[in-house]
Amino acid sequence: MKPLAYRMRPKKLADVVGQSDLIAPGKIIWRMVKARRLSSMILYGPPGTGKTSIASAIAGSTKYAFRKLNAATDSKKDLQVVAEEAKMSGTVILLLDEIHRLDRNKQDFLLPLLESGRIVLIGATTENPYINISPAIRSRTQIFQVHPLSVADMHKAIQRALSDKENGLGKLNVKLDDDAEQQLLLASNGDLRSALNSLELAAMSTPPDNDHVIHLTMSVIEESTQHPQMTADKNGDAHYDIISAFQKSIRGSDTDAALHYLALLINAGDLPSIARRLMVIAYEDIGLANPPAAARANLAIQAAQSLGLPEGRIPLANAVIELCLSPKSNSAITAIDSALQRVQQGHYGEVPDYLKDAHYKGAHQLHHGNDYLYPHDYPEDWVRQQYLPDQIKNDQYYYPKANGRFEQAYGRQYSQLFVAQRHRKPRNK
């Protein structure tokens, strides 16, 4: 027998749960189906959120032939079979799973079929199509993002599966406790396929009681659910989203959110990404507001790498909490990016002669190094002297911030030197 999630797959749009922004009356896919003016599309989102269900429902609602292939495992010959069917019988809806893995040979075969309209492609992927799908495919499709199902949508689908006597579990007389259902929904994390398959496993492996009722309690559901974990695939879309949220939480000084995302990365065993991101954060987001934090973050990373996981979680947590609660400053990255932008725009200027290399014979005749003022020969090891090229001598890249005692001190020193060096006050950003 086919799995419950397969049997409960909708046959028309009205049966699809969730994704109301796409399939509710008046929305884009509903309008396509109603007008029978289908265009090829890519459905992008996490597993179990209804990508295949939407494709199946579109086919069922339009009565077009529906075929399903996998871009990674099915061959060009399989595509040719679908193309022949479309040539003989008219429009065919092709659900192409894992479309981000479509190779160039299959893509070249498919493109003219999409342009002719003989095949309506519905590509399904968990990867970001703007990163992982070729521009040639993207230009011929509309991209729709699907989202994890809400608790209300999941509840609706679970109750439908329990009551459906033809495709669901309606003939089994299953009683699902309320707290057990909540556990099922929590464990599946918006993945309806996972929830339905866990529900079926629980129902089929639990013997009926004396009243012929299959009673699914919290403990039964806990035993039957598979807890989804964030993928450790470094090319996966979720990987980059978690890392992005990790840095932004530390930047925003939300300690608990940062620890949550750290836990996800630790759970995935992704120590290299944690180490790299913490070092970036220490210099980019904390920066000159608290320079010692970068050194301590580096020591915590070294300790974690030496200990390995799970023990390495302890120094990592120390570092994350300190970085969250530290004063923040991005003045260093802003300064170097400003300088880089000027250079990339062609504002080089010429190094003043007295700053040029003078270690070789003949430099004196070229006036290289002549008139250079050696700061250590002067009181306080400083002397007023122009260092920027004449063409950009008024440029200012660093704008001190007042976050943390370190940068406050650096800012005061910078302002004094700027005034003394250039006879004017530094600009404030």
Classify the phi-psi angles of 374: left when phi > 0, otherwise alpha if psi is within -120 to 50, otherwise beta.
Answer: beta
Classify the phi-psi angles of 226: left when phi > 0, otherwise alpha if psi is within -120 to 50, otherwise beta.
Answer: beta
Within the chain, which residue ranges are assigned CATH 1.10.3710.10? 331-422
Stated as kind and residue range, the H or E segment containing 298 is helix 292-307
Per-residue confidence of the chain (429 residues) as pLDDT tens digits? 789 998 999 888 888 998 999 999 999 999 999 988 888 999 998 888 889 889 989 988 888 888 999 998 999 999 999 999 888 877 889 999 999 888 889 988 989 888 888 889 999 998 888 888 888 898 889 999 998 888 899 999 999 999 999 999 999 999 999 999 998 988 887 889 989 999 999 999 999 999 899 999 999 998 888 655 454 455 556 778 889 999 999 999 999 999 999 999 998 888 888 999 999 999 999 999 999 999 999 999 999 999 988 899 999 999 999 999 999 999 999 999 999 999 999 888 899 999 998 888 888 888 898 889 999 999 889 999 999 999 999 899 999 998 889 999 999 999 988 888 887 788 887
* Torsion angle defined by CA atoms of residues 13, 17, 19 and 21, in that order, rounded to the nearest 10 degrees: 70
How far, in whole angstroms, is CA 411 from its chain's centroid?
36
Cβ neighbours of 31 (radius 10 Å): 12
Within the chain, which residue ranges are assigned CATH 3.40.50.300? 19-145
Q: Is 25 exposed, middle or buried (0-12, 13-18, 19+ CB in 10 A)?
A: exposed
Tokens read off for 341: 């932008």
How far, in whole angstroms, is CA 170 from its chain's centroid?
39
Strands 214-216 and 92-97: unpaired
Architecture of domain 331-422: Orthogonal Bundle (1.10)
Within the chain, which residue ranges are assigned CATH 1.10.8.60? 151-224
237-325, CATH topology level = Zinc Finger, Delta Prime; domain 3 (1.20.272)
19-145, CATH topology level = Rossmann fold (3.40.50)
> How far lies 69's CA from each of 49, 72, 94, 309, 371, in Å?
19, 9, 7, 40, 76
Task: Specify the CATH number for 151-224; select among 1.10.8.60, 2.40.50.100, 3.30.1360.170, 3.40.630.30.
Answer: 1.10.8.60
Question: Is the separation of the CB atoms in 27 and 109 below 8 Å?
Answer: no
Stated as kind and residue range, the H or E segment containing 11 is none
Question: Is the separation of the CB atoms in 74 and 99 below 8 Å?
Answer: no
What letter does residue 143 receive in the DSSP assignment?
E
- Of 91, 84, 92, 94, nearest to 121 by C-alpha is 94
Tokens read off for 347: 């504002």
The pLDDT value recorded for residue 36 is 85
Residue type, 272: P
Tokens read off for 127: 């990867």
- Of 308, 229, 326, nearest to 268 by C-alpha is 229
- Of 279, 284, 283, 330, nearest to 300 by C-alpha is 279
User: 29-80, pLDDT tens digit by residue?
Assistant: 999 999 888 889 999 988 888 898 899 899 888 888 889 999 989 999 999 9
User: 325-375, pLDDT tens digit by residue?
Assistant: 999 999 999 999 999 999 999 888 899 999 998 888 888 888 898 889 999
Question: Is the separation of the CB atoms in 177 and 17 below 8 Å?
Answer: no
Detail the DSSP E strand segments found in 35-182: 41-44, 65-70, 92-97, 119-125, 142-145, 174-176
